[in-house]
Amino acid sequence: MKKNKYYKLLINLLDDVVSLVYPRTCAACNQVLLNHEILLCMLCEVEIPKTNYHLMPNNPIEKMFWGRFELESAAAYLHFRKQGGVQKIMHKLKYKGKSDVGTVIGERYGREVAKVDRFKNVDVIVPIPLHRDKQKTRGYNQSEMFGIGLSEGMNVPLSVDNFVKITATESQTKKNRSERWKNVRDVFQVNNPELLENKHILLIDDIITTGATIEAAALILLKIKGVKISVLGMAVSGG
Ligand SMILES: [Zn+2]
């Protein structure tokens, strides 16, 4: 009993020492986090622009996909605004090696989404894949990191090796909608379609902008017998 108590004290002490040397900082504003704060400081936690679209049927993301492919439900956790905290969060996840940002946000959002009826019947989570070379350079796929957290929070399995990207595409950021669409067409492939037959797939991505990537991926996946598609993003830009 006594031993256990000292052990816990020692662990807490080590935690404090580690955070003195490597202070944990807020993913949105870089302030040093207090012990109980996870990912965001208290102020950013209050101010982070959540969409709550998971609670809103016919939300702007669902409307974005109307007439493009058959969609069950769609939502994204945060509003992406240039120069805002969400942009800093996404930048850390994509370019600064902070893969844990994706998993923490995924788990958080997953717990919220799991309570909503229209997302309750999804069978499997499928992230938008990165091309092998790009994933090697970055070290991980940021959408997959989001998926690992979502899978935990929603208690739904994650599939990462079946749906793959076979052609490297150029960066999407400087392209308009029709250029983006041409850029992403025919770049995805399903290795074992039979594993996804009759599944309700939750297709996920980091930032949803024009929806061109999601649309291209959904159109490939919808060729599999009995597939239904819902969509979740970490953030939505302009929606
Ligand atoms: Zn902050």
Domain borders along the chain are: 1-47, 48-237
Burial of 156 (0-12, 13-18, 19+ CB in 10 A): buried
For range 64-76, the mean pLDDT: 97
pTM: 0.86
pLDDT at 181: 59
pLDDT digit string, tens, across residues 118-148: 999 999 999 999 998 889 988 999 999 999 9
- 3-class secondary structure, 133: helix
> How many whole angstroms from 170 Cα to the centroid of ligand 1?
33
Q: For residues 170-179, give the mean pLDDT.
A: 66
| Structure tokens, 146 | 């989001």
Query: Residue 124 corresponds to which tokens in the numbers above?
Result: 């499997």
Q: What percent of the chain has pLDDT over 70?
A: 89
Binned at pLDDT 50, 70 and 90, residue 165 comes out as very high
> Per mean pLDDT, which range of 32-41, 129-138, 161-170, 178-187 is the poorest?
178-187
Q: Which residues are within 5 Å of ligand 1 (an ion), measured at CB?
A: 26, 28-29, 31, 41, 44
237: CA distance to ligand 1 center in Å?
20
- CA 173–ligand 1 middle distance (angstroms): 26
Q: How far apart are CA 71 and CA 174, in angstroms?
A: 27
Residue whose C-alpha is closest to residue 130's, from 184, 200, 197, 73: 184
Q: How far is the CA of 40 from the centre of ligand 1 (A)?
A: 5
Contact 230/202 with Cβ under 8 angstroms? yes
Q: What is the number of other CB atoms lying within 10 angstroms of the CB of residue 117?
A: 7
Q: Average model confidence (pLDDT) for the chain?
A: 90
Model confidence at 17: pLDDT above 80: no
Percent of the chain with pLDDT over 90: 72
pLDDT exceeds cutoff 80 at 19: no
- CATH number (3.40.50.620, 3.40.50.2020, 3.90.580.10, 3.40.630.30) of 48-237 reads 3.40.50.2020
